[in-house]
Chains A and B, each alone.
Chain A
Amino acid sequence: MKNQKSEKIKGIVKSIVNEEIDLPNDAMVFLDPSTLIEIFTKKRLELISLIIKFKPKSIQGLADIAERKKQAVDRDLKILERLDLVKLEKKGRSISPKIEKRLILMNLSELFSIGDPKVKKSKEGAIEAQVFVDGVNINKKMGKKEA
Chain B
Amino acid sequence: MKRKKFSVFLTSEDILDISLEIEKKQIGKFALNYRALVKNKWVPIYRVDNFHGFLHEQRLWRTKEPIPLDDEEYYTRNDVVDRYIDQISNNFQKYKSYYKESSNKKKKK
Contacts and interface: CB of A to CB of B under 8 A. Distances in A.
Interface string A17-36: 11100010111111110011
B109 to A, nearest CB: 29
Given A17-B25, A17-B78, A35-B11, A3 B5 contact: no
Q: Give the contact-size bracket for chain A.
A: 20 to 34
B72 to A, nearest CB: 21
22 contacts: A3-B86, A3-B90, A5-B89, A6-B86, A6-B89, A9-B18, A17-B25, A17-B78, A25-B6, A26-B5, A26-B7, A27-B6, A27-B7, A28-B6, A28-B9, A29-B6, A30-B9, A35-B9, A38-B12, A39-B9, A82-B37, A82-B40
B60 interface: no
A25 B20 CA distance: 11
Interface of A: 3, 5-6, 9-10, 12-14, 16-19, 23, 25-32, 35-36, 38-39, 78, 82
A32 B10 CA distance: 8
A17 B26 contact: yes
